[in-house]
Copies of this chain bind each other. A is one copy, B any other.
Amino acid sequence: MKFCSNCGARVVRRVPPGDTHERHVCDACDTVHYSNPKMVLGCIPEWEDQVLLCRRAIEPRYGKWTLPAGFMEDDETTAEAAMRETLEEAGARVELGEIYTVLSVRHVNQVHIFYRARLLDLGFSAGTESLEVALFREHEVPWTELAFRTVSTTLRHFYADRREGVYRLHAGEIPLRPAG
């Protein structure tokens, strides 16, 4: 942010009175501009012992595999966002279950939330943001070709819980990858 979205003047970076964080502040119209993490909503669409994955047709991670997920929009709920992204990216209709993972990704200011979900039919097809969409059994999952660590973390929890026969909420953080 270089200019005030309210009046168009240049903004400065400073801690406003009574605040604890540096913000973009406009001295022309006295507006404080806040920046907050964005939410990414998705799901694990299950069909019998298989899970639906999408191969990305967009950057970042073009060509890598992901669970259907994307940025939550204004004017929707977390559940609606997860279902919309699944329909947009995979052409897939799901019935959502419980929230399964809540993963903070501090270094990109995001929180990723994945629901468990039941795929309602096999009439899925790649949306404009996907190269292909396919069902995978556990031993078929392309672990080294997954797009995001929130996806691999969610899938690892999923298969571990499935082996134990009990699914529970997993909340946590994806740490910054060590340099080198």
Size class of A's contact patch? Answer: 35 or more
Q: Of the candidates B3, B9, B20, B173, which one forms a contact with A7 in the assembled complex, judged by CB atoms under 8 Å apart?
A: B3
* Complex contacts, A169 vs chain B, CB 8 Å: 98-99, 169
Please name the residue on chain B nearest to A40 by beta carbon: B36
| Binding site secondary structure of chain A | loop
Interface residues in A69-83 by Cβ distance below 8 A to B read: 71-79
Q: Are A171 and B99 in contact (CB under 8 A)?
A: yes
Q: Is A153 close to B, CB under 8 A?
A: no
Q: Are B5 and A3 in contact (CB under 8 A)?
A: yes
Q: Are A106 and B8 in contact (CB under 8 A)?
A: no
Sample of 25 A–B contacts (CB below 8 Å): A2-B5, A2-B6, A3-B4, A3-B5, A3-B8, A4-B5, A5-B33, A8-B8, A18-B128, A34-B71, A35-B74, A36-B73, A37-B39, A37-B72, A39-B39, A39-B111, A74-B109, A75-B109, A77-B106, A77-B173, A78-B111, A79-B173, A98-B169, A102-B102, A169-B169
